[in-house]
Amino acid sequence: MLKKEFQQKISVPWENQGGFVNDTLAISDSINPKNSEPVTAHIPVKIDQNKNFEIIKQEPQAWINILLLGILLIYTMVQYLNFNRVGQFFLSVMSKSQANQLLKEGSLFKKWYALILQFIALSTISLFVQYVLGFYHLDNFLAEGFEGFAMILMSLSALWVIKAIAVNFSGYLMNTTDSSREYNNNMLIFFSIFGLMLIPVIILMIYLDKKIFIYVGIILWIVLFFLWIIRGLSVGMQESNFSKLHLFLYLCTFEILPVIVLTKIILEAN
């Protein structure tokens, strides 16, 4: 979990009868020890190294509330000012012609609304990754709270920039600059849409604290990743300079291999 706090049953000697109900501490009524039935107060407890217990706050940390509120406000502003363009982003996932129509107006990397959507996507994906790592206890290498979120956000941003530069550089070497530009712009579209679609999933996941929404987010990523691979193949196959073998190696290097490497690094770090 984001707070890395856990509930645990503890045995505390009390004067009267006491027990544990639903992972909470049942405290007997010490005012009238002759009562046959104890009065219980259900208190979630956290055990630290000194074996002390304290009340756990179940609400999400304040910075998460502020972050999600900011994301919703910024997205609402972009949606209001560029309703048609945001709609085209969603349509571009299923329709390559819609994506090409966006590209006719110039590179999306130079459009302010596209960059803001990209920032929203990086933020929501970082928050989702942090929550999933914490849920499965794979976050030993991360700092807690906002610092851990910032680490993931900076790492994803750096990987995104490196990947975009590598695609442009390979396009320059192979004289396929137009396809590389189209590839990067489509990558921005798919990445942005995945981040936007994660917003309701993250809100439900954090505030309802249900494991099912983790699976929903992972399935959503798998589906969009599959669609993105198909789009990447479509962009690459239109280039006569690109053989199918080179295209396959290209996608494995820039899309599949990074996912495998990051997964291995996370598992080994824990």
Residue 153 is predicted with a pLDDT of 94
Q: What is the C-alpha to C-alpha distance for residues 135 and 139, in angstroms, rounded to an integer?
A: 9
Beta bridge partners of 53: 47
User: What was the pLDDT predicted at 242?
Assistant: 61
pLDDT for res 25: 44
pLDDT at 209 (0 to 100): 76
CB atoms within 10 A of CB 34: 6
Cβ(139)–Cβ(149) under 8 Å? no
- pLDDT at position 71 is 94
Q: How many residues does the chain have?
A: 270
Residue 265: exposed, middle, or buried by beta-carbon count in 10 A (0-12, 13-18, 19+)? exposed
User: What was the pLDDT predicted at 244?
Assistant: 67
Q: Are 142 and 133 in contact (CB under 8 A)?
A: yes
pLDDT tens for the chain, 270 residues long, are 444 444 444 444 434 444 434 444 444 444 444 444 444 444 344 444 444 433 334 456 889 999 999 999 999 999 888 888 888 888 888 888 888 888 888 788 888 888 999 999 999 999 999 988 888 887 777 788 899 999 999 999 998 898 888 888 877 877 778 888 888 888 899 999 999 999 999 999 888 877 889 889 989 988 998 888 888 888 877 766 666 666 777 777 777 777 777 677 666 655
DSSP state of 6: -
The one-letter code for the residue type at 184 is N
Res 31: pLDDT:
44
Model pTM?
0.71
CB 206 within 8 A of CB 130: no
